[in-house]
Structure 1
Amino acid sequence: MSTHDRYDEAARERIVEEPPKRVDAPVRTPFERDRARVVHAAASRRLAAKTQVMGPQSDDFVRNRLTHSLEVAQVARDLSRALGSQPDIAETAALAHDLGHPPFGHNGERVLAELGEPCGGFEGNAQTLRLLTRLEAKTDGAGLNLTRATLDACTKYPWPRAAAEEPSGVHADGSPRFVVKFGVYDDDRPVFDWMRRVAVGTRQCLEAQVMDLADDVAYSVHDVEDGVVAGRIELTTVDEAAVWQTVRDWYLPEVTDDVLDKTLAELRTVGSWPVTPYDGSRRSLAALKNLTSDLIGRFCGAVQHATFEAGDGPFVRYAADLVVPEQTRLEIAVLKGVAAHYVMRADDRVALMERQRELLAELVTVLADRAPGALDRPFADDWRAAGDDAARLRVVVDQVASLTDASAVARHAALLGRS
C-alpha cells in the first residue's frame, strides 16, 4: 500500500469541491497539490524578510523565517517518510508553520495580541490557519482550499483561545511567552470544526507532531550554528553554570545541574563536536555543517526508533503518536539554552526588541485611524465589509501581520514621517 492510500476520502476532502483537472495536466496527488499551493503563496515569499532570531538583515548567512521553514520541511519530510506516513503532508505543514508570524516574530506577536484584545487577540498559529483558509487568494471563500489532512497537520495548537492555558516560559527566539497559544480565532471556527471533524479532543494528528518536532530540532541546532558563525557562541568554551540557569529559566525549570552536565557530555560524544575554536575558515564552516547534520540525524533517529518501539502503526493521522525520548528532549533543551544565553539575552537585542514593539503599536494605531484609505486593497475591502468595530480591528491586525520586518518599518515611516 502506498503512503497516499493510507489516507481515506475524508483526509483528502477539501472545503470547496474542485472540478477534475485537465487530462493533459500533470498527475499529482491531492497532497502534492497542497504543497505546491503553499510554496506559491504570497505569504511564503514574505517569510524571506521576517525575523527568525537575529534578523534577516543582520548577516547574509543567518536564517530568516523562509530558510528556517525550508530546513524544517526537509527534517519533517525525511522523518515522515521514515515512519511511513505521507511526506508531502508533513512537508507542507512545515512550510506553512510560520506563515502567520507578524513582523519581528514573537516580539511582534505580543504587541498584536495586546492591541487585538477587543477582537479576540492574536496568535501566530491561529493566523496561519486564517491565511490558509481565508486570506490567501486561490479559492474564493476558502483561501488555498487545502485538504483536511494537510490543514490538520498545519495546526500546532488545535483548540480555541477559550481553552488555552496561561502562557509560561519563552519562545524559541528567546522572547517571554506573553501570548496564550491557540490555533483558531472565534470567527474562523466553522472551517476549524470542519477540519477537526474526525479528531478527538485537542490531540495533534501524527503529521502535526512530526512538524512540531522538526521545528524544535531545526531551531535548536540551527540557532546554535548561526550563533557560532556570528561570533556569539564558542562551543569549546561553554559557560555551563550560566547556560544551565538559562535552561531552567526558559525551558526545564526542574532539571538539575547533574542531569544537564551528563546531557552535554553525551552531546560532546558526537564525533563532529568541535574540539578547536571556530575560526571562520572553510574547514571550520564545513565542520560546523557536519555537526548540524549529525545532530539532526541523532535526534530524528532516536525519535523514529522510539516511535516504532511503542506500536505497530500505521503511523498516520490518529492511528499513532510520535514518541520523543527523554534524552532527546534534554539534548534539544541544552542546545536551546546555549543559543538563548549567548544570543537571545544579549543587551543589544533586548533594546532592539523594545523599539520594535513601539513601532508596531504605533503602526496599528495609525492604520486603524486612517482605514480604509491606508490599507492595502484586499484589507480595505475586508474593512468595508466588516460588520462592527471588532471586525474592523481584526482587519487592521491582518494587515499589520502580513507585513515583513522591512515593510513594517517603511509603512511606519511613510505614515508617521519618521523611522
Structure 2
Amino acid sequence: MGSYSEADRARWVPEQPKRRDRTAFERDRARVLHSAALRRLAAKTQVADPGSDDFLRTRLTHSLECAQVGRELGKSLGCDPDLVETACLAHDIGHPPFGHNGESALNTVAERCGGFEGNAQSLRILTRLEPKSFAPDGRSVGLNLTRASLDAVMKYPWRRQDAPTGAPSGGSGAPYGIYDDDIEVAAWVRQGAPKDRLCLEAQVMDWADDVAYSVHDLEDALVVGHVDFARLADPTERRAVAETAAKLYCPGTDLTELEEVFAELLAEPYWPDHFDGTLRTLAALKNLTSTLIGRFCLAAEDATRRRYGPGPLTRYDADLVVPRRQRLECALLKGVTAHYVWISHEANRARQRELILELADWMLAGAPGTLEPQFRVAWHRAPDDAARLRVVVDQIASLTDTSAVAFHARLRAARRPAGA
C-alpha cells in the first residue's frame, strides 16, 4: 500500500524528463501552475464577479486555496502531495466565463455536439487544448500529464450517458467528466481503475474543493455585507438557509436535522458575534475560517485512519471517509452563500446567460473568422457540423468574464450597419 507504479507515472505520449532531480508529479504540478488556462481563472467568476471588489476570491484564488488544503490532507494520508496539489490546481480549469452560470448557458449551446460540462472541459484542456506537448503524428496532447494526475482530476470518470445511478444531479442533469470525442484518452487514464470509482487523490481533491469553497466564500460574503451574523442567529433565517442547502447540496436530508446541525455549529465559541471591518474582527474572521478548515479536514483524516489504519494510502488503497456531520455542516455553509448571494444576483446572472447565447450565435455565424487562431485551425480540421460547434464552444469556454464581455461587444459592433 502507499506506492505509485510505473503505470501511474506514465504519460500518454512518452517523453524524456529534462531534469532528473524532479519527480513526475512535481513536473505535473509545474505544468499546471504555469499554464495559460490556470492564469485565466484569475478573471473568472467564483461567487461575485471578478473586479467587483479587490478582496473577493476569483476562481484562481479559490483553486490555490483548494490546493493548499488538499495538499495538507493528502500528505497526512500518505498521498503524494504534488499529485494532490496538481489535481486541486486543475480541478476548475475547465470552467467557462461566469462560472456555473456560464456552464449552464454553454450546455444549451452545445446540445447538438454532446453538451458542455466544466469537468469534462477540464480533461479536454489538460489533454488537448492547452499548448505544451504533441504526439508524433502532430496532434496536441495538452500538458501530457501522468496517468495518476489526470485520474486525480477526474471527479466524474464517465460520459454523460453513462452516469451511474445515484450520481449527484444539478440544473443540467447528472455531472460527467468525459466527452465522447475524448473517450480515447479517458480510457487510457482509467486503464485498470475500478469502474466509476474515484481514486483516493480525487476524493481528497473533491473534499478540499468543498471545504475551501464553503469556508472562503462565506468569508467573502461576510466581508462585503451579504451575510450578517445577527441574521444567522434568527431561527427563521436558519431554516431558510437549511432549505436552500437541502435543495442544492443534500437533497432528501431532513430539515429538522439540518436546522439542529446549523444551530450547534453556530454555537461553537470561535464564531464572531459581529463584523465591522476593523483589524480585530478581520482577525476573528480569519480565525473562523482556519478553524473550520481544520475541523473539516481533521474529521476526514481521523475517520479515514480509523477505517484503514496508520499506513500510507494512495490511489485505490482506500476511500476518503468524511463523517456525515461534517458533510452537512459543509453543505450548510455553502447554503449560506447560495441563499444570500446567488439569489440576490439572479438578474445579473440572467444577463450573463444571454450574453453567452448571443456570443455563440454571432461566433458561429462568422466562423472561422470570429475565432482566435488556434481555434481557427481546429475549425478547418473539424469533420462535421457537430465538431465545428465543439470548436466554437471550446473558444467561448476559454474566455474569461472580462474577455467574454469584450468579445461580445466587438461582435455586436461588427454586426451594426455602417453609420448606425
Task: Give the TM-score of the pair, scaled to structure 1.
Answer: 0.93
In 2, Cα distance between the equivalents of 1:117 and 1:307? 40
- 1:230 matched to 2:229? The reply is no
Q: Is the CA contact 1:155–1:208 (under 8 Å) kept in the aligned structure 2? A: yes
In 2, Cα distance between the equivalents of 1:351 and 1:89? 40
Q: 1:95-134, aligned counterparts within 5 Å?
A: 95-134=89-128
1:258 aligns with 256
Extract structure 1 runs of 4+ deviating beyond 4 A: 165-170
In 1, Cα distance between the equivalents of 2:48 and 2:162? 32
- 1:14 matched to 2:11? The reply is yes
The CA RMSD measured in Å over matched residues stands at 1.9
1:286 aligns with 283
Measured after TM superposition, the shift of residue 333 of structure 1 is 1.4
1:59 aligns with 53
Q: Is the CA contact 2:113–2:389 (under 8 Å) kept in the aligned structure 1? A: yes
Q: Is the CA contact 2:35–2:130 (under 8 Å) kept in the aligned structure 1? A: yes
Q: Which moved more, 1:110-119 or 1:311-320?
A: 311-320
Measured after TM superposition, the shift of residue 28 of structure 1 is 0.5
Query: 2:402 is paired with a residue of what secondary structure?
Result: helix
In 2, Cα distance between the equivalents of 1:360 and 1:179? 20
The alpha-carbon distance between structure 1 residues 379 and 119, as it changes in their structure 2 partners (threshold 3 A), is: same
- 1:328 matched to 2:326? The reply is yes
Q: Is the CA contact 1:98–1:125 (under 8 Å) kept in the aligned structure 2? A: yes
Measured after TM superposition, the shift of residue 256 of structure 1 is 3.3
In 1, Cα distance between the equivalents of 2:255 and 2:176? 33
The alpha-carbon distance between structure 1 residues 341 and 168, as it changes in their structure 2 partners (threshold 3 A), is: farther
2:141 aligns with 142
Q: Is the CA contact 2:130–2:143 (under 8 Å) kept in the aligned structure 1? A: yes
1:73 aligns with 67
Query: 1:28 is paired with a residue of what secondary structure?
Result: coil
Measured after TM superposition, the shift of residue 254 of structure 1 is 3.0
Measured after TM superposition, the shift of residue 251 of structure 1 is 2.3
Among candidates 288, 306, 317, match of residue 315 of structure 2? 317
Q: 1:9-408, aligned counterparts within 5 Å?
A: 9-21=6-18, 25=19, 27-140=21-134, 141-164=140-163, 177-238=171-232, 239-275=237-273, 277-312=274-309, 314-346=312-344, 349-408=345-404
Long gaps (5+) in structure 1: 171-175
The alpha-carbon distance between structure 1 residues 167 and 55, as it changes in their structure 2 partners (threshold 3 A), is: farther
1:173 aligns with none
Long gaps (5+) in structure 2: 135-139, 416-420
In 2, Cα distance between the equivalents of 1:180 and 1:366? 29
Query: 1:232 is paired with a residue of what secondary structure?
Result: coil
Q: Is the CA contact 1:83–1:304 (under 8 Å) kept in the aligned structure 2? A: yes
Measured after TM superposition, the shift of residue 269 of structure 1 is 4.5
Q: Kindly tell me the number of residue pairs found equivalent between the two proteins.
A: 405
% identical equivalent positions: 57
Query: 1:417 is paired with a residue of what secondary structure?
Result: helix
In 1, Cα distance between the equivalents of 2:298 and 2:408? 46
In 1, Cα distance between the equivalents of 2:382 and 2:50? 34
In 1, Cα distance between the equivalents of 2:259 and 2:401? 38
In 2, Cα distance between the equivalents of 1:76 and 1:168? 23
In 1, Cα distance between the equivalents of 2:48 and 2:329? 22
Q: Is the CA contact 1:166–1:180 (under 8 Å) kept in the aligned structure 2? A: no
Task: Give CA deviations for 1:199-249 in whole Å, capped at 9, x if unaligned.
Answer: 010000000000000000111111110110010111243121221222222
Q: Is the CA contact 2:67–2:84 (under 8 Å) kept in the aligned structure 1? A: yes
In 2, Cα distance between the equivalents of 1:344 and 1:215? 19
Query: 2:95 is paired with a residue of what secondary structure?
Result: coil
Q: Is the CA contact 1:167–1:179 (under 8 Å) kept in the aligned structure 2? A: no
In 1, Cα distance between the equivalents of 2:279 and 2:379? 53
In 1, Cα distance between the equivalents of 2:353 and 2:17? 47
Query: 2:334 is paired with a residue of what secondary structure?
Result: helix
Letter in 1 for 2:367: A
Task: Give CA deviations for 1:11-62 in whole Å, capped at 9, x if unaligned.
Answer: 00001111242xxx46100000000000010001100000001111211111
1:414 aligns with 410
Measured after TM superposition, the shift of residue 110 of structure 1 is 1.0
Letter in 2 for 1:9: E
Measured after TM superposition, the shift of residue 98 of structure 1 is 0.6
The alpha-carbon distance between structure 1 residues 351 and 418, as it changes in their structure 2 partners (threshold 3 A), is: farther
Q: Is the CA contact 2:168–2:175 (under 8 Å) kept in the aligned structure 1? A: no
Measured after TM superposition, the shift of residue 168 of structure 1 is 9.4
In 2, Cα distance between the equivalents of 1:261 and 1:167? 25
Letter in 2 for 1:321: D
In 2, Cα distance between the equivalents of 1:344 and 1:182? 24
Structure with greater contact order relative to length (CA < 8 Å, sep ≥ 6):
2
Task: Give the TM-score of the pair, scaled to structure 2.
Answer: 0.93
In 2, Cα distance between the equivalents of 1:158 and 1:167? 14
The alpha-carbon distance between structure 1 residues 257 and 161, as it changes in their structure 2 partners (threshold 3 A), is: closer
Measured after TM superposition, the shift of residue 345 of structure 1 is 1.4
